[in-house]
Structure 1
Amino acid sequence: MMNWPIETIGGVGNRLKEQLEAIGISTVNDLLFYFPNRYENYEIKPLSELIHDDKVTIEGEVLGEPTVTYYGRKKSRLIVRLQVEHAVVKGVMFNRPFAKKQLVPGAIVTCTGKWDQHRLQITIEQYKKGKAKTDQPIQPVYYVKQPLKSIQLKKIIKKALEQYEEQIVELLPSAYLTSYKLLTRAKALKEIHFPTSFQALKQAKRRFIYEELLLFQLKMQLLRKRNRERTQGNSQLFDFSLVNRFIDRLPFQLTKAQNRSLQEILQDMRSPYRMNRLLQGDVGSGKTAVAAISLYASIVAGKQGAMMVPTEILAEQHMSSLQALFGENVSVALLTGSIKGKKRKEILSLIEQQAIDIIVGTHALIQEDVHFANLGTVIVDEQHRFGVNQRKALRDKGIDPDVLFMTATPIPRTLAITSFGDMDVSQIDEMPVGRKPVETYWVKDNMLTRVLQFIQKEVKQGYQAYVICPLIEESDKLDIQNAVDLYQQLQEMYNSQQIEVGLLHGRLHNDEKEAVMQQFASNQVQVLVSTTVVEVGVNVPNATVMVIYDAERFGLSQLHQLRGRVGRGEAQSYCVLIADPKGDVGKERMKIMTETTNGFELAEQDLQLRGPGDFFGKKQSGLPEFKVADIAQDYRALETARNDAQSIVYNHLLTNDSEYQALNNYVKQTFEEAGVTFD
């Protein structure tokens, strides 16, 4: 890395140094990798090649005197006619009447702005007298803070490239440059700052996309390798024939995706390294069955298993499911915060004596007084609901137990291998045979009465319904229905029908939430008005209707999670999206929701439409900030970079091959800067 101070570049004095430091540039390296945030295109193209609504640059001769029309206070519109090739183009400019004096008949001018193909018209954003410059039609635009000017920054970057070009170290081995047809680092830096053509700029970006993704994946793979090597062995040598016999006795047949994920998990459990795997599966795809078989394998190996879930009601549901699958052959116990006193002490004693094989619980499992005799496998359901420290506390209760994280949030593969790069990822991406897909409809507000009548009809047939609102209470800024108001309205509407309405939102205490969910699960409440706190985990097979107000305010993945609360029983279920989106993206989301029930397809679409922040929250996304790469668009490069990084790390190329020395030095330095050391 070129970590020389910025003042070593000719022309950078104290004042300019301070201005550069204000935007995060203190070294030559910082400067050269301070990439433009966009590019202006001043390339002159023939009129026949201009695209409607694009930003374009044209060159023409002023025909006649421009006209200026005034309307409103300090508002004006200037119209100028330009001879461009064999056509007359109308130029329109707003609130710049002074330009009339410069745009004299016969003058040659270059104009940049939005092109209207139908009217042969350009809305002028910028203009200059004279012909267009042809030496650099693509102009980079940088983010700068006053008093620093973009033109100053460009000059300094140009000087730095001239001064240090020979010292720019190539990180990638020559085989990669040849194989992927990549520009050298020095050439790519020149083209990204001073593009000679759009094709060259594209190649420069391509080079840095791959480099960024490879460097990130190298760090992830090295961390993963280090974590594996530092863990003691937890090889669970279970008898495969006993596990297979258990699978054969199950009342259903595993899908191909379940089998594939299960084999990956069992292979991890038998290996001498600690399992650190994420199991993704859509709602109803059969993750619990895979988890149960994994826990059974631990018991066959003579160890204990633990399953941690975010809520007591979910713990009870998992407990019931596991007991039904295992029968009397396996002892399963429940440990939650509400189990106290003598009963709690008794359970803790049985866990410590290994008289209990599987313990299911909430965060109560990670309290200090819980001691496992021989913990082999830990399963954390809805892993994103637990903090890192909570997950670590449970993991540390055994002698390096194998850990399987489960989530019903379909995360696109590109995000999974980026944000969970230090984990292995398994996907259950098919549904069991015979499961009825939830019928999904998109309606406008004017259909609301019919929707509420439909809920009433389903409830009269013995079923239940969820009604979801985006907000808890009224907001002056957002004109949207809130949960409290809607709850009161529905209470009034359904009261005479003997239909009980419940309310659930994030400001209730956990005990209150649990109580409301218990009432809904036991059908004491038929219609549950809720914010999105109901999104994860709860299993109410009797619920057949999911109505989502202001559905355009949710991402596809969140809508799909909410839809997954219904369709868990044998009856046909329905999801009704009440939405009136104004933009094309919102309309497209509603359309996609009605057309597919595949969570992974929806997640990929959501990634394209909304970007990665939506999956993990903008601040806690855990996703790296890339300068050039976009993981939604560059998923192929991400896959390639990950495969290459795995090969480099596990074949020890960084230390054993001189071609990789520069890459090794770079990675070591970034780790040292982050305070990470390797043995």
Structure 2
Amino acid sequence: MNLDHLLETPIVYLKGVGPKRADLLKSELNIFTFKDLIEHYPFRYVDKSKFFKISEIKGDMPSIQIEGSILSLNKLGVGKSKRLVAKFSDGSSQIDLVWFKQIKWIQSSINLEKNYVVFGKPNFFNGSYSIIHPEITESKEYSKIKSNFFPVYSTTDKLSRVGLNSRGISKIIINLISNLSKKIDETLSNEILRKLNLPSLHESFINIHQPSSIYQMQISSKRLKFDEFFYLQLYLLKNKLLNKKKLKGHDFKIVGINFNNYYNNVLKFDLTNAQKRVLKEIRKDLAGSAHMNRLLQGDVGSGKTLVAILSMLISLDNGFQSCLMAPTEILAQQHYETISKELKSIGVNVQILTGSTKKSQRKVIHEKLLSGDIDILVGTHALIEDSVQFKSLGIVIIDEQHRFGVAQRGKLWKKNNLYPPHILVMTATPIPRTLSMTIYGDLDISIIDELPPGRKVINTIWKSDRSRLQIISLMKREISLGRQIYVVFPLIEESKKLDHKNLMDGYENLIREFPLPDFQISIVHGKMTNEEKEYEMKRFVDGIANILVATTVIEVGVNVPNASVMIIESSERFGLSQLHQLRGRVGRGSDQSYCVLVSGDKLSSEAKKRLSTMVKHTDGFKISEVDLEIRGPGDLMGTQQSGIINFKIADLIKDNKILVRAREEVKSLLKEDSDLSKPKNILIKNRLQRYKSQEMNWGRIS
């Protein structure tokens, strides 16, 4: 039997479904085909191996199972108290079974002449026990069930009204399994199955829905999870392999005068071991004939910009230009100032191009780019305009890649005629290892996991609103020492009017505490024009303003070494990643820095976990793992990228060991048989082709 042909059958044709149920399965659970149904896996199992007597019911018992017959069935009450009550007897004692929902359907489905198995939680009320909304199965039907481990499926009220509660879904899945009497086509080689001691796909599909033991359920679950991870990793790593073969890049074999002059004579400190390791990985990429497509992860202040400068100098030593694209003008300006200052003494021509560059300057830059007089161009989205043409672009550095769309980044590829420029994508947002293996699985990844020596650990303090006097005292002390302070308020679209009011109230309070002319306060919020925001930010960057009050997240990369305090108001409303990024705005100089998390008293358990994590950890990668745990992968990466991680049964957090093993197996497989042409791997090759067409509908991330 061909698995795909059978499982692509529309769900309406399955026994026990029909048109009405089929429409609801489609709209409520996205179940369109047999395949969708068999992949609607249980989210837990209930052990129903033991039967109780009604006389044994006592205290606060969990859900129990009893067997007997229904003596009477009556509708009682009116309005919201309307209910269906059945007198149930096991031959020696009686108990009430009560339903408040689906009364009509349940009443029509019960036969007083038949025996039933009842499962539910006993409830003690008015001196007697009852079971509210029990599961009820005919004894004759129950006897056909082979397992004592009963699956529990997610469902909805609409489905339950047509008999497709968890039990009803289980019934139609059993009907489907009875259609799978012949063996389902395997998707893994015998070698992998033997090596990992995994059951066949056929056994796994059956036993995940009808396990006869906990072990059988666990091993089937492991097999199906492994499959999901295996084919995602195979798709990503095979793509990566193909790109390396097909996408040629300029080979930068020379590390010459510009790099060596800067490294030996200009650089005032040693690189960290992490920076050296990452630079070595980049040099190896650039020296080969393949196109580099690398993601550089590094916590705030870890020295990614220096790695970018050295990479661009390698490009220059090989006769090529470079460009660095930042998401905002203020960031581009800071990069430009840093890079031009660093490279001025060795005669490297660095220019900047942004939306506010004057037309006359723009014309000169365009001409000098084409003539090759400009070595490094720093800019914003202005760099991707068609009019911006290079003589020979060798490497593109993209800062904070999640701010740019795929199409925008793709335009940079077309700036060269022969080969696309090498791409180095930098992010200060730490990405958990399990996510980087999925979202960025087809990129090479470098991580700077070490901060430069001499950096003092930021002291993170969690305070309630009641500690306002202590917070003001800390601010005044730091300002008296000549330092600057950020005060950040949340801005959520749903409550932006109230949030704006909170910001303005906070600003007014600060003006009273820090009056002119002794203190200067800048403010940045969404209702200001870009020019106004730039002006206020510049006052803070130039050291004129002592305090910067803002609603928007302070731009990643904004560098004010003199800022030593970050105060985050209503900190419970920020995500962990935002809190960590904000904290990274301070601690850039040699002074002790502080991050003060100000919160209300009534906090959810999640908010408490976020804030206590911030106090406990300064390592961005540890924080990102907790963030993944709290929010889940889809939410962590945002809706754009969540499609890739919409697994049917696997879980990136709980099943990361299976993911790592699947990736190892894929690497081993491709090392031995990169084209999957060996006879033993034909099954895998065929399944990969189907996987590409059925599962993968997302574009390249970078």
* TM-score of the superposed pair, with normalisation by structure 1: 0.85
Do 1:348 and 1:370's aligned partners in 2 also have CA atoms closer than 8 Å?
Answer: yes
- Write the distance in 2 (CA, Å) between the matches of 1:126 and 1:487: 58
Confirm whether residue 251 of structure 1 aligns to residue 263 of structure 2.
Answer: no
Q: 2:252 maps to what in 1? A: 236
1:29, distance to aligned residue in structure 2 (A)? 2.4
- Write the distance in 2 (CA, Å) between the matches of 1:213 and 1:114: 41
Do 2:483 and 2:562's aligned partners in 1 also have CA atoms closer than 8 Å?
Answer: yes
1:257, distance to aligned residue in structure 2 (A)? 1.1
Confirm whether residue 199 of structure 1 aligns to residue 215 of structure 2.
Answer: yes
Q: Give the alignment partner of residue 447 of structure 2, picking from 427, 434, 454.
A: 427
Q: 1:363 maps to what in 2? A: 381
- Write the distance in 2 (CA, Å) between the matches of 1:671 and 1:447: 56
Do 1:43 and 1:138's aligned partners in 2 also have CA atoms closer than 8 Å?
Answer: no
SS at match of 2:336: helix
Q: Give the alignment partner of residue 390 of structure 1, picking from 397, 408, 416.
A: 408
Q: 1:30 maps to what in 2? A: 36
Confirm whether residue 296 of structure 1 aligns to residue 298 of structure 2.
Answer: no
Confirm whether residue 447 of structure 1 aligns to residue 467 of structure 2.
Answer: yes
Q: Give the alignment partner of residue 159 of structure 1, picking from 175, 178, 184.
A: 175
Do 2:255 and 2:317's aligned partners in 1 also have CA atoms closer than 8 Å?
Answer: yes
Confirm whether residue 416 of structure 1 aligns to residue 418 of structure 2.
Answer: no
Q: Give the alignment partner of residue 659 of structure 1, picking from 665, 680, 684.
A: 680
Amino acid across the alignment from 1:384? H
Q: 1:374 maps to what in 2? A: 392
Q: Relative to 1, partners in 2 of residues 1:129 and 1:666: Cα closer, same or farther, differing over 3 Å?
A: closer
- Write the distance in 2 (CA, Å) between the matches of 1:295 and 1:500: 39
1:498, distance to aligned residue in structure 2 (A)? 2.7
Amino acid across the alignment from 2:321? Q
Q: Give the alignment partner of residue 348 of structure 1, picking from 347, 351, 366.
A: 366
1:577, distance to aligned residue in structure 2 (A)? 0.5
Amino acid across the alignment from 2:155? Y
SS at match of 1:440: strand
- Write the distance in 2 (CA, Å) between the matches of 1:445 and 1:92: 51
Do 2:634 and 2:643's aligned partners in 1 also have CA atoms closer than 8 Å?
Answer: no
Amino acid across the alignment from 1:429? D
Paired residues, number = 642
- Write the distance in 2 (CA, Å) between the matches of 1:123 and 1:156: 26
Unaligned runs of 5+ in 2: 53-58, 69-76, 86-95, 104-115
Do 1:472 and 1:505's aligned partners in 2 also have CA atoms closer than 8 Å?
Answer: no
Do 2:400 and 2:426's aligned partners in 1 also have CA atoms closer than 8 Å?
Answer: yes
Instruction: State which drifts further: 255-264 or 665-674.
Output: 665-674
Q: Relative to 1, partners in 2 of residues 1:93 and 1:518: Cα closer, same or farther, differing over 3 Å?
A: farther
* Identity score, percent: 37
1:383, distance to aligned residue in structure 2 (A)? 1.0
Confirm whether residue 605 of structure 1 aligns to residue 634 of structure 2.
Answer: no
Q: Relative to 1, partners in 2 of residues 1:305 and 1:619: Cα closer, same or farther, differing over 3 Å?
A: closer
Do 1:472 and 1:483's aligned partners in 2 also have CA atoms closer than 8 Å?
Answer: no
- Write the distance in 2 (CA, Å) between the matches of 1:376 and 1:3: 49
Amino acid across the alignment from 1:217? Q
- Write the distance in 2 (CA, Å) between the matches of 1:613 and 1:483: 30
Q: 1:267 maps to what in 2? A: 284
State how 1:413-562 maps to structure 2 within 5 Å.
Answer: 413-471=433-491, 475=495, 482-496=502-516, 498-562=518-582
**C-alpha distance after superposition, 1:258-283 (max 9, x if no partner):** 11111111111111111111100001
- Write the distance in 1 (CA, Å) between the matches of 2:635 and 2:697: 30
**C-alpha distance after superposition, 1:418-441 (max 9, x if no partner):** 111221111101111111111000
1:9, distance to aligned residue in structure 2 (A)? 4.6
Do 2:45 and 2:149's aligned partners in 1 also have CA atoms closer than 8 Å?
Answer: no
Q: 1:149 maps to what in 2? A: 163
RMSD: 3.9
Do 1:412 and 1:603's aligned partners in 2 also have CA atoms closer than 8 Å?
Answer: yes
1:164, distance to aligned residue in structure 2 (A)? 2.1
SS at match of 1:317: helix
Do 2:431 and 2:624's aligned partners in 1 also have CA atoms closer than 8 Å?
Answer: yes
* TM-score of the superposed pair, with normalisation by structure 2: 0.82
Do 2:553 and 2:582's aligned partners in 1 also have CA atoms closer than 8 Å?
Answer: no
- Write the distance in 2 (CA, Å) between the matches of 1:433 and 1:409: 21
Q: 1:65 maps to what in 2? A: none
Confirm whether residue 136 of structure 1 aligns to residue 148 of structure 2.
Answer: yes
Do 2:435 and 2:652's aligned partners in 1 also have CA atoms closer than 8 Å?
Answer: yes
Amino acid across the alignment from 2:384? I
- Write the distance in 1 (CA, Å) between the matches of 2:60 and 2:508: 48
Amino acid across the alignment from 1:448? R
Amino acid across the alignment from 2:576? L
- Write the distance in 2 (CA, Å) between the matches of 1:512 and 1:650: 56
Amino acid across the alignment from 2:276? N
- Write the distance in 2 (CA, Å) between the matches of 1:440 and 1:582: 19
Q: Relative to 1, partners in 2 of residues 1:517 and 1:170: Cα closer, same or farther, differing over 3 Å?
A: same
State how 1:73-152 maps to structure 2 within 5 Å.
Answer: 112-113=120-121, 126=134, 135-143=147-155, 145-146=158-159, 148-150=162-164, 151-152=167-168
- Write the distance in 1 (CA, Å) between the matches of 2:684 and 2:494: 55
SS at match of 1:470: coil
Do 1:312 and 1:362's aligned partners in 2 also have CA atoms closer than 8 Å?
Answer: yes
Q: Relative to 1, partners in 2 of residues 1:92 and 1:478: Cα closer, same or farther, differing over 3 Å?
A: farther
1:308, distance to aligned residue in structure 2 (A)? 0.6
Q: 1:404 maps to what in 2? A: 424
Do 1:306 and 1:377's aligned partners in 2 also have CA atoms closer than 8 Å?
Answer: yes
**C-alpha distance after superposition, 1:610-632 (max 9, x if no partner):** 22234322455464210111112
- Write the distance in 2 (CA, Å) between the matches of 1:317 and 1:189: 56
Confirm whether residue 617 of structure 1 aligns to residue 638 of structure 2.
Answer: yes
SS at match of 1:495: coil
Do 1:3 and 1:27's aligned partners in 2 also have CA atoms closer than 8 Å?
Answer: no
SS at match of 2:372: coil
Do 1:298 and 1:377's aligned partners in 2 also have CA atoms closer than 8 Å?
Answer: yes
Q: 1:314 maps to what in 2? A: 331
**C-alpha distance after superposition, 1:391-427 (max 9, x if no partner):** 1112321231000000111111111121112211111
Q: Give the alignment partner of residue 193 of structure 2, picking from 170, 177, 182.
A: 177
1:340, distance to aligned residue in structure 2 (A)? 1.2
Amino acid across the alignment from 1:226? L
Q: Give the alignment partner of residue 219 of structure 1, picking from 221, 229, 235.
A: 235
Unaligned runs of 5+ in 1: 47-51, 62-69, 79-90, 99-107
